[in-house]
């Protein structure tokens, strides 16, 4: 099959291309800067926010992966919600025009039974836009991806490294199911050919087997780094202040951190585990995922705490 991978320079797209090639597919990458694509595949220069390059990239494509997000600061001052909406609409229009058979989208886990933050509403809207564009569609909803290329994971590790005390706001009690980066890649790989999506539109939660509170995630990363970092529970929701301070300490954009923290209003747990049988993935546990991620991280970049 001819497959397009957008976001080919990000952690998900970059990790996905090699297994797709191993499966015998013809893979084309789509990126703002094709020189940054780490694999020897044809690459089209373009930008989903403007629609530039999409017609060329999608020409003759059977399966298109949408692995881009729009949470970086914008020169025009537009919100990430506006950029995500425009990007999804332009991609969907181009995919329909090109006759793409299947889209695959990697979004975030949501609980639709309660009011959603702007960040989660935006990701859900992208899922709905893409799913309506082609005869077949698979939307994967994931929690925190555990891997050296995941910005969310890197942010958490940097916080643990750089804070002598871990201040934990009230959202520390909310639970989620972090997933190993390897399992995300395996799930995405299977989406290209899974018979479960033949003539259908699927929305699947991809989650690790461990249900963990956000505060415990930080504490277990601390323990696996073998650090002494006492944690203190904060009595009030200080997300705006904590988010900005944490983004500076971790060297991350506040435009990424604040929407993510704003979505921590309750548990984010998988609706079910049908994805494991439909996509043939046996997920790894949290500690094993973190240990592997830290080891891989250290092969290319020293961890300050080690």
The Cα–Cα gap between 203 and 75 comes to 33
The stretch 70-96 carries a mean pLDDT of: 80
pLDDT in tens, 99-122: 999 999 999 998 888 888 887 888
Which of 35-39, 234-238, 254-258 comes out lowest in average pLDDT? 254-258
Per-residue 3-state assignment (H helix, E strand, C coil) for 23-81: CCCEEEEEECCHHHCCCCCCEEECECCCCECHHHHHCCCCEEEECCCCCCCCCCCCCHH
The answer to whether the beta carbons of residues 232 and 282 sit under 8 Å apart is no
pLDDT in tens, 133-168: 999 999 999 999 999 989 889 889 988 988 888 888
Highest CATH level, class, for 2-149+176-209+269-283: alpha beta
Give the confidence band of 293 by pLDDT, cuts at 50, 70, 90: very high
Alpha-carbon distances, residue 244 vs 83, 95, 258 (angstroms)? 22, 38, 7
pTM of the entire predicted model: 0.92
Per DSSP bridges, beta strands 26-31 and 43-45 are parallel
pLDDT in tens, 38-49: 999 999 999 999
**So what's the pLDDT on residue 144?**
93
């Amino acid at each position: 099959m001819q497959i397009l991978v957008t976001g080919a320079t990000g952690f998900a797209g970059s990790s996905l291309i090699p297994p797709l090639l191993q499966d015998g597919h013809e893979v084309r990458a789509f990126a703002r800067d094709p020189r940054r694509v780490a694999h020897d595949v044809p690459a089209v220069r373009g930008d989903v926010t403007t629609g530039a390059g999409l017609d060329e990239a999608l020409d003759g494509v059977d399966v298109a992966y949408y692995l881009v997000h729009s949470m970086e600061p914008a020169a025009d001052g537009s919100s990430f919600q506006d950029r995500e909406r425009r990007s999804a609409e332009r991609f969907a229009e181009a995919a329909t025009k090109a006759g793409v058979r299947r889209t695959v989208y990697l979004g975030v886990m949501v609980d639709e039974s309660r009011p959603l933050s702007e960040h989660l509403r935006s990701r859900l809207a992208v899922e709905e836009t893409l799913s309506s564009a082609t005869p077949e569609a698979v939307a994967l909803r994931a929690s925190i991806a555990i891997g050296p290329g995941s910005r969310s994971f890197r942010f958490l590790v940097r916080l643990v490294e750089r804070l002598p005390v871990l201040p934990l706001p009230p959202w520390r009690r909310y639970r989620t199911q972090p997933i190993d980066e390897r399992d995300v890649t395996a799930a995405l790989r299977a989406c290209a050919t899974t018979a479960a999506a033949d003539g259908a539109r699927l929305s699947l939660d991809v989650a690790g087997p461990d249900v963990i509170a956000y505060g415990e995630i930080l504490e277990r990363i601390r323990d696996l780094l073998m650090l002494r970092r006492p944690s203190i529970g904060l009595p009030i929701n200080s997300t705006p202040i904590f988010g900005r301070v944490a983004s500076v300490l971790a060297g991350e954009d506040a435009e990424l951190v604040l929407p993510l923290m704003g979505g921590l209003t309750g548990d984010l747990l998988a609706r079910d585990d049908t994805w494991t049988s439909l996509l043939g993935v046996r997920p790894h546990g949290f500690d094993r995922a973190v240990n592997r991620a830290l080891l891989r991280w250290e092969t290319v970049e020293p961890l300050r705490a080690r």
